[in-house]
């Protein structure tokens, strides 16, 4: 997958799959899968570092995780998230952060929101860096939303999101993440734009879908929002493997003679 394939997929009506990835070991696994693209999302602040929101992701964290993912997945198209307020500190500071992610191995950056940053986004695109947009429930604005809530439910909100989506396309975004919005709204945006939409909690009619790696694998069985499907029960699998190891250590069944040096 390269940047040109995104538009091509939309034209051909072929869906795009994206999963988050934050570390080298997972990237090595994902490198060998069919998944189209990897997102080093700022959700890593929560998933990898245990914070309660994505506002804790810093550019240093984002760059370090992007480097690790690139080392593990040399051939995948990698999108790196521009973290909280990075797009709000003026063009120079924002461009420094874009440079950090691109030098870390990203093929593109993702920026949440639209209002007040269209010029910056155009500038990044004109500088030769592909930009993915992100509308709907943009988690960096969780405090302004009063929590992780579905966005665009009222007519006014929906119209505003559609307008933002149009402006992001005009600014040169090559794709747009739509997070936690009603499926009719996501469908309408998808039909109106010529760039692909990638949904999470946005229904089945977007041009692609994205999920958080650990969430879809069921690492945390208690986290099961409506939009999430568990494709595995990794929590149970890992717990059982570790307990098996523990028992083997207790009984002396591990290591065996074959697993020991003469
Ligand atoms: O950071 C992230 O994981 C994301 C996805 C939810 C789209 O932005």
Q: Are 151 and 136 in contact (CB under 8 A)?
A: yes
Q: Do 129 and 189 fall into the same domain?
A: yes
Q: Do 108 and 152 fall into the same domain?
A: yes
User: Residue 252 sits in which domain range?
Assistant: 233-262
Mean pLDDT for the chain overall: 97
Three-class DSSP category at 208: strand
Render pLDDT for 176-232 as a digit per residue (tens, 0 to 9): 999 999 999 999 999 999 999 999 999 999 999 999 999 999 999 999 999 999 999
Nearest in space to 232 (alpha carbons), one of 13, 14, 19: 19
Residue 112 CA, ligand 1 centroid: distance in Å: 10
Q: What is the CA radius of gyration of the chain?
A: 20
Q: Do 93 and 146 fall into the same domain?
A: yes
Which protein residues touch ligand 1 with a CB less than 6 Å away? 20, 39, 41-43, 81, 177, 179, 200, 210, 212
Residue 256 CA, ligand 1 centroid: distance in Å: 44
Q: Do 190 and 256 fall into the same domain?
A: no
State residue 91's pLDDT score. 97
* Smallest CA separation from ligand 1 atom 2, residue: 41
CA–CA separation, 138 vs 109, rounded Å?
Answer: 15
State residue 18's pLDDT score. 98
Q: Do 251 and 195 fall into the same domain?
A: no
> Among 179, 191, 236, 259, which one carries the catalytic annotation?
179
Nearest in space to 59 (alpha carbons), one of 101, 87, 95: 101
Q: Do 97 and 219 fall into the same domain?
A: yes
Number of domains in the chain: 2
Task: Assign residue 19 the CATH number of its domain.
Answer: 3.20.20.60
* Smallest CA separation from ligand 1 atom 8, residue: 41
Residue 42 CA, ligand 1 centroid: distance in Å: 6
Q: Do 170 and 261 fall into the same domain?
A: no
CA–CA separation, 198 vs 135, rounded Å?
Answer: 10
Its pTM stands at: 0.97
CA–CA separation, 20 vs 228, rounded Å?
Answer: 14
Nearest in space to 217 (alpha carbons), one of 35, 82, 2, 76: 35
Q: Do 210 and 125 fall into the same domain?
A: yes
Q: Do 123 and 28 fall into the same domain?
A: yes
Q: Could you check whether the bond before residue 227 is cis, i.e. omega within 30 degrees of 0?
A: no
Render pLDDT for 18-31 as a digit per residue (tens, 0 to 9): 999 999 999 999 99
State residue 174's pLDDT score. 98
Q: Do 202 and 254 fall into the same domain?
A: no
Q: Which of 23, 35, 41 to mutate to test the pocket of ligand 1 (most atoms within 8 A of CB)?
A: 41
Residue 57 CA, ligand 1 centroid: distance in Å: 12
Residue 31 designated active-site: no
Render pLDDT for 55-108 as a digit per residue (tens, 0 to 9): 999 999 999 999 999 999 999 999 999 999 999 999 999 999 999 999 999 999
Q: Do 249 and 191 fall into the same domain?
A: no
Q: Which atom of ligand 1 is nearest to the CA of 212?
A: 3
Q: Do 220 and 262 fall into the same domain?
A: no
């Amino acid at each position: 997958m390269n940047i040109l394939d995104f538009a091509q997929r939309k034209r051909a009506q072929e869906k795009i799959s994206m999963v988050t990835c934050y570390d080298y070991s997972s990237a090595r696994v994902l490198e060998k899968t069919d998944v189209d693209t990897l997102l080093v999302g700022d959700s890593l602040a929560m998933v990898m570092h245990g914070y309660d929101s994505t506002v804790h992701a810093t550019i240093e964290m984002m760059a370090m995780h992007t480097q690790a993912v690139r080392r593990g997945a040399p051939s995948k198209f990698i999108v790196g998230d521009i973290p909280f307020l990075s797009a709000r500190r003026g063009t120079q500071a924002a461009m420094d952060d874009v440079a950090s992610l691109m030098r870390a191995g990203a093929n593109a950056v993702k920026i949440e929101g639209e209002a007040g940053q269209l010029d910056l986004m155009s500038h990044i695109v004109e500088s030769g860096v592909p930009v993915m947009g992100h509308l709907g429930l943009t988690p960096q604005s969780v405090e302004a939303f009063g929590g992780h809530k579905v966005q665009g439910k009222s007519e006014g909100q929906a119209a505003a999101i559609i307008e933002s989506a149009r402006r992001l396309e005009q600014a040169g975004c090559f794709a747009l993440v739509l997070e936690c919005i009603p499926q009719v709204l996501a469908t309408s945006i998808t039909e109106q734009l010529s760039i692909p939409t990638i949904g999470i909690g946005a229904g089945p009619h977007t041009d692609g879908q994205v999920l958080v790696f650990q969430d879809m694998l069921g690492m945390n069985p208690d986290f099961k929002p409506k939009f999430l499907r568990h494709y595995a029960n990794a929590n149970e699998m890992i717990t059982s493997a570790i307990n098996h190891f523990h028992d083997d250590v207790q009984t002396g069944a591990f290591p065996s003679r074959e697993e020991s040096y003469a």
